Every structure is written in C-alpha cells, then in structure tokens.
Amino acid sequence: MPGFQIRVLPVALASCLLLGCTTSASRHDPVTAIGAVQGRDARSPRLGQQVTVEGVVTALRSDSESGAGWYLQDAGDGDESTSDALWVHDPEGLTSVKPGDRVRVTGQVAEQPAGGQTRTALLQPRIQALGTGTSTASAIVATPVDWERYEGMLLLIDMPLLLTDSQDLSRQGRVLASLGERPWQATERAEPGSNEWRALEQDNTRRRLWLDGGSAAPSNFWPTSIGAARAGSLISGAIGVLDQTGSGYGLHLTTTPDLHAAARPQPPQVAGDLRVAALNLENLFNGDGRGGGFPTPRGARTPAELAAQLAKHVATLRGLDADIVALMELENDGYGPDSSLAALLAALNADGSDWRAVDAGQGPGDNPIRVGLIYRASRVRPQGTPATMQGGPFGAHSRVPLAQAFVPVTRGRHGGAALVVVANHFKSKGCSGAEGADRDQGDGAACWNDTRTRSARQLEAWLAADPTHTGSDLTLIVGDLNAYAQETPVRALVQSGWRDAFEVAGIRDPYSYVYDGQLGRLDHALLSPALAARLRGAAEWHSNADEPETSGYRDGGDGPWRSSDHDPLLLGFDLRR
C-alpha cells in the first residue's frame, strides 16, 4: 500500500531547482488552472498536451499503482464540478519536494491506471520552486454523488465516518470505513437482481472509503488503539488526499484522526421459560483428541490455540445461558471421548454444569464439519430419537440437518409442549466447483444459490413428514443458511409460512455477520406458526462479527470476543405448563 516519504536529492540537483536550470519549468510558461486540466469528466480534456500548473504539494507516495510521485493542489478555478488537484508522476525521484512546497510544474497530461479506472497525471515533470504555501482541506459534509470531482484533493471528512473493517490494517496499513452509517448487504434488504438491490449496491459504493495510513501503520497516521477497535467505532478528524484503489476510493491520511471506540455489548436477555441459542463454532477441531494431530485441518494449529478457542466458546455459551444450543462447524469426528464434541462438553461442564449432546450415532453426514445439538439435562430432556436427512443437495454440499424434540423439565420431571429443534448449515457462497444454475448469476446472491434453495425446499418437505415422530407443531429451523434475508432460500421458507423470529419479536435491523464491511444475516431462526405464538424474545449478541480478528483465539484475546466470525443468537419461548 502507499507510503509517504520525503526523498533527499543530491545538492547539485537541489541547487538546479532553486536556480532555474534546464530541468525546471520556465517562469514565462502560461499557467493553467488544475481544474481545467482535470475537466468535468473522468478523463482530462487536455490529454496528451503539455501544460504548466502551479500549486502546493500536499502528500508524497512512494509506491502507488503507477509508481512514485506526489499530489499537487491549487487554489481552485471556481468550478465545483472539477478537481483542483492532480498527480505528478515522478518515478525516478528527480525532484526534491515535500508537503507544503509551492511549485510550478510543466509536464505532459496523461491518464494512468488507478484502481480499475484512471488518474489524471503529469508526466516528465519540470519543476520550479516558488517557496512554501498551504492547502485548505475541502470539507465533506454529505456523501458525494461522484467522488471523481475530488480526485487527488486534500479532504476533511466532516460527517459521521464509521469503521467497518480493519483486517487490512496489519498487512496494508489501511481500514475500511463508511460515511453516514454502516452499510448493509444489499440482499439482506432487497431481492437479488432487483432495482432496489442495484440502488443499495450503488449507495454502498458511494459511502465506502478506505483510510490509508501507509504501509508502516499503525505507527503512522493511526491511533495506537485502532487495531483493537470494533466495527462501528466512530472516526473523526480524518484528513487526507483522495485517490482510487483497486477496491474503491481511498483517503491517504496526512494527519492522525481521532478514534471513538464502540463499546462491547453485554450478553443479551430474553423473556420466556425456555431459551434456545445457535452458534457457529468456526471450525472447532481438536486434533486426535489426545493432545496430538496439530495443526488441525481447519481450526486450531496448536493445543494452546485449541484451549483458547474452547475457552472463548465456553464464555460465549455461559453468557447466553441457553437450555438448548444448535452448533455449526463442529468437526465431524464422532461422539466418542476423543471427539471435538466431547472436548466442548468437558470444557462446559468443568464448573459442574450438566451439558449433554444429542448423539446421532454417526455424522450427521460425511462432510468434514457437521451440525450438532447440546442441552442442559436439568432443564430439558430429549423426546424420542434424533432424525437426520441425507440425499439431494445434502451431504455432498449442504451439511446434513439434525432434528431432535425436547421437553422442558420442571422440578425434576418433564412436562410441557415438545419443541423440535432442527440444526442446519447450508452450502457456502464460495464458487469452487459451482456449475450451471449454481454459478454466480451477478444478482448479489453469489454461488450455490440454487443448491441452497433446493436445500430449503427439501428441508421443509422433510419436516412436514414429522421426522421425529412426535406430532408436535412447535418446530424451529435454526442455523447458518448461508443466505441473506431476501435471498431465495430464506424467502422460499417464509413464503411457505415459516416466521422469521426477529420479525415476530419486533427486532429492527438484526445482523449476525459482517463481510466486506457490510452487515447481514446468514444465521436465521424460522418458526412454525404455532411456535411463533409462543416466542417471547429474540436477540443477537454482537460479540463476534464486529470484533477485529486480533480479538480471536489465535492472537490471545480474552473473554468471549471473536469466538467465531458469526454472532450467536438467542430465543426465548413459553413452553412449560
């Protein structure tokens, strides 16, 4: 990523700049306003021409996409539709300039590649030093309709600017932010491919802004606490030069902004006499179960990492205080004492608790990861035997679902209505192996949407046949469906009568996952109509998705934070007589 630096020039060349040698711009060259060079369109109207401009150097970059150079800005041409700055391409380091220098530059106008678009630049610059000067940062008080008008300019973001993703901080010295509010996955709120979806995508793009502190970050231009900040934290006083990157517009910081860190939320509370939670474990693998087998295929790389991972899951589940928990991304290694499931139960029961697991005998399925169900034996008891469904899209692609009926326990005796909990984990959105209708259709639903939709419809048909043989009409579909709320797998179930628990509970703007800085729900709780009438509360604990990766078990973070990349959900029902 770009880094700012000052290059030191040999004395002879420096003197040449000051005395006006043949490499310098002539005092008699007519000066053109930079806005006239930029023009009102994406490409300069002076392309290929030689021009002379004057301005103040605002920032240097040593490794832009087009090579080394610096930004030059003048006082403006009075036209609000044109940029007052441009890029001076200086790959050979033939000039000795620094921010604050006022210079006259003669060069050839070109359009250089920049983030899939172009950047207006001056090539083969001849420079005359004019002393020092200042550039005033233009204040951005509303999200621009088109950032092109500000290309290369010094800007102050003078409106709410929210941190959305910091995973590039350690590698590239930059974070992703959004103007005004945090962005949402368009298919969380609009049907894929619709006009509303396109409008949301365009709005997300306009509000998306990279903040680049240089490759030496966080020591340069970043508060020291930025690496630990949660998504949603407020950033103020961001000043820098605007340019284009391969992933959108970026502000190359020239000063250190202020960070107002978002607070971590307390565990949620829901009403009701029976609570059900769901948690994606993000690949809980325990090696061979006897201290060996590390690194694991998908999860912990060492026994110490496994211990830290288990500790985070235990802290999460104790905070939720649920009676039944549906699990996803659990290693599919059986139910014996060396299994990952046994390791989780042992950690949970270390304080004398009475967690048990639903034993499906094998699997379910033969995927490396599986779903699971655990429960508190003093609070609920399984009724009948577990049921699994294979065939069709399940097994090879979507993970095999697991269903089990439970009845509440009161004063040591079971009683009340039977609740059927169905744990699910549909095929992911990754495109490896996708063919035909499962390929990305360009509508926002990504790959394997057809398989996920067929999974949803087959799941519904299976449940209609009462696979647990309890006759109960109180059924909960819960888990990671790998589909946002307006995508067809979820919509197909809702249109068939299943009720979104968060909608029933009146929860506004729920989310469980953050991808590319955008909020959405891959994790769902869908209720049969009879169960919807018994729902008393629904909540998501944003203990994971908003946390930086440095809070996770691999970096030694304490507490439940970033136990997974998905947030857990919690539901409360009235089921006891």
- Pairing of the two strands 274-284 and 413-414: unpaired
Q: Where are the alpha helices (DSSP H) in 181-296?
A: 186-189, 195-207
For the chain, give percent helix, strand, coil, nearest 5.
20, 35, 45
Residue 380: which of 360, 356, 403 has the closest Cα?
Answer: 356
The answer to whether residues 280 and 313 touch, using CB atoms and an 8 Å cutoff, is: no
Dist. CA 446–CA 192, nearest whole Å: 10
Average pLDDT, integer, range 132-148: 96
Question: Coil, strand or helix: which one is 230?
Answer: coil
What's the pLDDT tens digit per position in 510-562?
A: 999 999 999 999 999 999 999 999 999 999 999 999 999 999 999 888 999 99
Inform me whether the pLDDT recorded for 577 exceeds 70: no
Q: Which amino acid is at 405?
A: A
Q: What integer pLDDT is reported at residue 19 of this predicted model?
A: 29
What's the pLDDT tens digit per position in 420-477?
A: 999 999 999 999 999 999 999 999 999 999 999 999 999 999 999 999 999 999 999 9
Average pLDDT, integer, range 108-131: 93
The answer to whether residues 261 and 230 touch, using CB atoms and an 8 Å cutoff, is: yes
At residue 523, φ and ψ (nearest 5 deg) are: -100, 125
Question: Coil, strand or helix: which one is 355?
Answer: strand
Question: Coil, strand or helix: which one is 150?
Answer: helix
DSSP state letter for 265: P
Q: What integer pLDDT is reported at residue 24 of this predicted model?
A: 52
DSSP state letter for 511: -
Average pLDDT, integer, range 394-405: 93
- Split at pLDDT 50, 70, 90, the class of 378 is very high
Q: Where are the alpha helices (DSSP H) in 481-568?
A: 488-495, 501-504, 529-532
Look at 233 and 62; give whichever has higher pLDDT.
233
**Any idea which residue has 């001076």 for tokens?**
88
Q: What integer pLDDT is reported at residue 114 of this predicted model?
A: 87
Does a cis peptide bond (omega within 30 degrees of 0) precede residue 295?
A: yes
Q: What integer pLDDT is reported at residue 217 of this predicted model?
A: 47
For 507, residues 6+ apart whose C-beta sits below 8 A from its C-beta are: 538, 539
Inform me whether the pLDDT recorded for 394 exceeds 80: yes
Kindly list the distances between the CA atom of residue 69 and the CA atoms of 125, 129, 387, 560, in Å, as whole numbers in the listed order.
10, 16, 65, 46
Q: What integer pLDDT is reported at residue 221 of this predicted model?
A: 85
Dist. CA 405–CA 467, nearest whole Å: 10
Per-residue b/e over 155-186, b at no fewer than 16 CB within 10 Å?
bbbbeebbbbbbebbeebbbbbbbbeebbbbb
Pick the CATH number of 11-132 from 2.40.50.140, 3.30.230.70, 1.10.1040.10, 3.30.1360.40: 2.40.50.140
DSSP state letter for 17: H
Regarding pTM above 0.85, the answer is: yes
Looking at domain 274-573, what is its CATH homologous superfamily?
Answer: Endonuclease/exonuclease/phosphatase (3.60.10.10)
Q: What integer pLDDT is reported at residue 92 of this predicted model?
A: 73
Per-residue b/e over 497-528, b at no fewer than 16 CB within 10 Å?
ebbbbbebbeeeebbbbbeebbbbbbbbbbbb
Kindly list the distances between the CA atom of residue 119 and the CA atoms of 157, 249, 250, in Å, as whole numbers in the listed order.
21, 12, 13
Q: DSSP string of 286-317?
A: -TTSSS-S-S-SSS-SSHHHHHHHHHHHHHHH
CATH fold for domain 138-260: OB fold (Dihydrolipoamide Acetyltransferase, E2P) (2.40.50)
Query: What percent of the chain shows pLDDT beyond 70?
Result: 92
- Split at pLDDT 50, 70, 90, the class of 380 is very high
Query: What percent of the chain shows pLDDT beyond 90?
Result: 85
User: Which range among 357-361, 411-415, 551-555 shows the weakest confidence by mean pLDDT?
Assistant: 411-415
Average pLDDT of the chain to the nearest whole number: 92
User: Which range among 91-95, 97-101, 326-330 shows the weakest confidence by mean pLDDT?
Assistant: 91-95
- Interhelix angle for 488-495 vs 449-464, to 10°? 30
Q: Which of 92-96, 308-312, 397-401 has the highest mean pLDDT?
A: 308-312
**Any idea which residue has 């999860």 for tokens?**
299
Q: What integer pLDDT is reported at residue 58 of this predicted model?
A: 95
Dist. CA 419–CA 122, nearest whole Å: 70
Domain coordinates of the chain in residue numbers? Answer: 11-132, 138-260, 274-573
Is there a shared CATH topology between the 11-132 domain and the 138-260 domain? yes
Inform me whether the pLDDT recorded for 12 exceeds 60: no
User: Which range among 18-32, 49-63, 285-299 shows the weakest confidence by mean pLDDT?
Assistant: 18-32
At residue 566, φ and ψ (nearest 5 deg) are: -110, 145
Dist. CA 389–CA 391, nearest whole Å: 7
Q: What integer pLDDT is reported at residue 361 of this predicted model?
A: 94
Inform me whether the pLDDT recorded for 399 exceeds 90: yes
Dist. CA 379–CA 463, nearest whole Å: 25
Dist. CA 476–CA 421, nearest whole Å: 5
Query: Residue 223 has which token pair?
Result: 């508060």
For 238, residues 6+ apart whose C-beta sits below 8 A from its C-beta are: 156, 157, 161, 177, 211, 251, 253, 257
